[in-house]
Homo-oligomer: A and B are copies of this chain.
Amino acid sequence: MRYAVIMAGGTGTRFWPESREDLPKQLLKLGSDKTLLALTLDRIAPLIPAEQALIVTGDVIVDKIAASAPSVPAQNLLSEPLRRNTAPCVALAAKVLHDRDPQAVITVLAADHLIQKEELFREIIDSAMTLAEKEDVLITLGIKPGYPETGYGYIEAGEEAGKVNDTPYHQVAAFHEKPDTATAQDYFDSGRFFWNSGMFVFKASALLAATEKHLPDLYQALQKVDGNDSPAQLKLSIDEMYPNLEAISIDIGIMEKAENIIVFPADIGWSDVGSWTTLRDLFPHDEQGNVAVGNHIFHQAESNTVFARDGIVVALGVEDLIIVHTPDATLVARRDDAQEVKKIYDELEKMGLDKYK
């Protein structure tokens, strides 16, 4: 049977003050009345109902995750005691689902991304799952770049390897780390390079076989977990195993080493919603280039990005700012400093202002 594995352990420090330590990005309502997590479940639901979704998250936020995903069964909510990057997370999910259903085919999705072309997204996932059901391949979705981004890893596609329902797929020639500006431009111009979005499709058994080969310690540790245990027993096993695991991403730990890798190019209007600046691409601009979510008044204000889900922001004579209002905290940043937002957490700690973290 088909399953969706939703990775929902992120901390989303770049959306302070809307996001907090116990309220990461996947739990935010960024311009919709649903959380990014709920939107992720809705998006895949026509293909994979919530009963076959499995969420992996962290202890600090597990209760809020459960509340935001009430249709996901309790036994499908796994919680990590600490963060060990994506390889342990995905391999754990594969082990649990494989224990319950040895034929399980899974699609791995992030809980905090947005996708504008939802039907096309589902068509591609459907095609990829159809291929994965037939062949022991590890499939990654490659996002067609909209511009030469330097902040993502890239997947270099090789020869076209076939089609499923008119959806073409390719061998993967190579994975590439985040490029410099010139290299990113070359990648963009070539047409053969795709953003590594962290969405995957494979048989649980195929992923476990690759884990055994490339991350044998992780594979060994996972043998102490039984997906058919009670949720309480399962949690005990996870808590015992996790502290000893190596923190490593599925890309570096498995995908870049495996040989049976396939990429499905996907031009699906994908965004990882990486910072407040990203919101500019997701919402309409006014004539002065301002983007606003929530109540606002602009007076001689240009090209600002304003977020005020509770309350109002008034901007007079300012430009190129990010302004975020929450009841207990306001952020005002130059648009170019959107990436600096994550550093605020350290400052808050230094100043004994942990209550705002």
Contact = CB atoms under 8 A, between A and B. Distances in A.
A250 interface: no
A337 interface: yes
A265 interface: no
A327 to B, nearest CB: 5
A340 B327 contact: no
Interface string A299-319: 110000000101111111110
Contacts of A316: 331-334, 337, 340-341
B332 A318 contact: yes
A351 interface: yes
Interface string A320-357: 01010101111111101100110110011001010010
Contact of A317 (B311, B315, B317, B336): B336
B318 A333 contact: yes
20 contacts: A17-B312, A295-B353, A297-B347, A297-B351, A311-B329, A312-B329, A312-B356, A314-B329, A314-B330, A314-B333, A314-B347, A315-B332, A316-B334, A317-B333, A317-B334, A323-B330, A325-B325, A325-B330, A327-B327, A330-B330
Interface of A: 16-17, 295, 297, 299-300, 308, 310-318, 321, 323, 325, 327-334, 336-337, 340-341, 343-344, 347-348, 351, 353, 356
